[in-house]
Amino acid sequence: MKKTTVVIVTEVIILCILIICFIFGKVPDNKESVKTSEANLNISDMKGTIPRVALTFDDGPSTKYTEKLLKGLKKRGVKATFFLTGERISYSEKIVKRMKKDGHVIGNHTYTHIDLAKTGYNEAKKEIEDTNNAIKEITGEKPKFLRPPYGDWNEKLLEETDMSIVLWSVDPEDWKDRNADVVAKRVIKSTRPGDIILLHDIFGTSVDAALKIVDELQSKGYQFVTVDQIEDSNLIKKQVVE
């Protein structure tokens, strides 16, 4: 008799718990399935648009590494933005031609990598113009974008040029740590939609890192675009030409 009473009491308690769970919708299985489906959500599903990110390469071209990068980007269907120094363009004509042919955006990074804020106005202006001319001679187009070395520029100079200044939001310091895995991990961890990633194609490790970054972020749903396709970004200081 005593055993039967215990069984009945236990059944009543279980029934009460089930009724409470049903009323408050707190069935553990249900909660778990919501959690799982959230975790499986692709980043592109969250806003209904494809998240965009821009890869930028400074200080090149490199006769040693840039062609490998161009080949890797083409294979992956990626367009990037290259900020070239004028002095390197003179012996990299073939590479610059290929950049243009592959649909990449070519920008200006001054002729000898000067700090525009610390250089005299006339000299700074000449550095920008000479680089624009060197690029135009090969591509037939004057660059629209300027990446100032060290992120420094002179406001007066900017006012007088019709170029847009392009800064960056993800800097893995690839010049300091020459390790492709370390650089790729840093970028993958901190990249968000709308970011502009800074790398240097004069290092073999940065080229390897760039391709790892593309593979990983493409698998997360990111689309790689050139800087002119990064909209509403405070990283691009646009000149309004009237």
- What is residue 149's DSSP assignment? G
Shortest distance (Å) from residue 193 CB to Zn ion = 25
b/e map of 31-64 (b: 16 or more CB within 10 Å)? eeeeeeeeeeeeeeeeeeeebbbbbbbbbbbbee
Q: Does 174 bind Zn ion (CB under 5 A)?
A: no
Report the site for Zn ion in 86-105 (rule: CB under 5 A): none
Shortest distance (Å) from residue 147 CB to Zn ion = 7
For Zn ion (CB under 5 A), the number of binding residues is 3
Q: Does 58 bind Zn ion (CB under 5 A)?
A: yes
Residue 83's Cβ-side half-sphere holds a number of Cα atoms within 13 Å equal to: 32
Task: Judge whether 113 counts as a catalytic residue.
Answer: no
Q: Does 59 bind Zn ion (CB under 5 A)?
A: yes
Place of tokens 């000449």: 126
Q: Does 195 bind Zn ion (CB under 5 A)?
A: no
Task: Judge whether 201 counts as a catalytic residue.
Answer: no
For 237, phi then psi, to 5°, come to: -95, 105
Shortest distance (Å) from residue 94 CB to Zn ion = 22
Q: How far apart are CA 199 and CA 82, in angstroms?
A: 10
Q: Which of 107, 143, 149, 172 binds Zn ion (CB under 5 A)?
A: 149
Report the site for Zn ion in 103-142 (rule: CB under 5 A): none
Question: Among residues 58, 59, 174, 195, which one is catalytic?
Answer: 58
Interacting span for Zn ion (CB under 5 A) from 28-36, 50-58, 164-172, 176-184? 50-58
* Greatest C-alpha distance within the chain: 105
Q: Which amino acid is at 142?
A: K
The contact set with Zn ion (CB under 5 A) reads 58-59, 149
Catalytic positions, please? Answer: 58, 200
